[in-house]
Amino acid sequence: MATGSVGQIDIFRVLRVALLSIAVAWVGGAARAADPVDGLPPLDLCAFHPTFVEDFRVLSVSPWGNRTSTWIAHTPWAGDFGDAAFTDPIPGFPFTVSNGILRIEARKGPDGRWRSGLLASTDPQARGFAQRYGYFEMTAKLPKGPGLWPAFWLASAVPQGKKETTVEIDILEHYGKFPADFHSVVHVWNPHDGARERAWQRVTPVAENSLYEGFHRYGADVEPEWITVYFDRKPTWRVATPPEHDKKLLILLDLAMGSGWPIDRTPNPSVMEVSGIRVYARGGSCPPRS
DSSP one-letter string for 115-176: EE-EEESB-TTS-B--BSSEEEEEEEEPPPSTTEEEEEEEEE---TT----EEEEEEEE--T
Query: What number is the average pLDDT over the span 129-136?
Result: 98
pLDDT score recorded for residue 37: 83
Query: What number is the average pLDDT over the span 177-198?
Result: 95
pLDDT score recorded for residue 11: 39
Q: Determine phi and psi for 17, rounding to 5 degrees.
A: -65, -30
Q: Is 117 part of a structural domain of the chain?
A: yes
pLDDT score recorded for residue 2: 54
**pLDDT band at residue 89 using 50, 70 and 90 as cut-offs:** very high
Q: Coil, strand, or helix at residue 281?
A: strand
**Percent above pLDDT 90 for the chain:** 80
CA 272/CA 142 separation, integer angstroms:
5
pLDDT score recorded for residue 35: 63
263: Cα within 13 Å, side-chain hemisphere: 20
Summarised one tens digit per residue, pLDDT across range 31-83 is 444 366 878 999 999 999 999 999 999 999 999 876 779 999 999 998 889 99
CA 145/CA 182 separation, integer angstroms:
14
pLDDT score recorded for residue 137: 98
**pLDDT band at residue 290 using 50, 70 and 90 as cut-offs:** low
pLDDT score recorded for residue 82: 96
pLDDT score recorded for residue 288: 81
Judge contact between 60 and 70, C-beta under 8 A.
yes
Give the CATH number, domain containing residue 161. 2.60.120.200
Q: What is the pTM of this model?
A: 0.90
Indicate the average pLDDT of the chain: 89
Q: Is 204 part of a structural domain of the chain?
A: yes
**pLDDT band at residue 150 using 50, 70 and 90 as cut-offs:** very high
Residue 287 DSSP code: P
Question: Is residue 23's pLDDT more than 80?
Answer: no
Question: Is residue 183's pLDDT more than 70?
Answer: yes
Q: Is 290 part of a structural domain of the chain?
A: no
Query: What number is the average pLDDT over the span 187-212?
Result: 95
Domain that holds residue 212: 10-282
CA 72/CA 126 separation, integer angstroms:
11
Judge contact between 146 and 128, C-beta under 8 A.
no
**Percent above pLDDT 70 for the chain:** 87
Q: Is 262 part of a structural domain of the chain?
A: yes
73 C-beta neighbours (distance < 10 Å), count:
21
Q: How many domains does the chain have?
A: 1
Question: Is residue 165's pLDDT more than 70?
Answer: yes
Q: Is 4 part of a structural domain of the chain?
A: no
Q: Is 149 part of a structural domain of the chain?
A: yes
Question: Is residue 92's pLDDT more than 60?
Answer: yes
Judge contact between 179 and 209, C-beta under 8 A.
yes
Q: Is 287 part of a structural domain of the chain?
A: no
Q: Is 2 part of a structural domain of the chain?
A: no
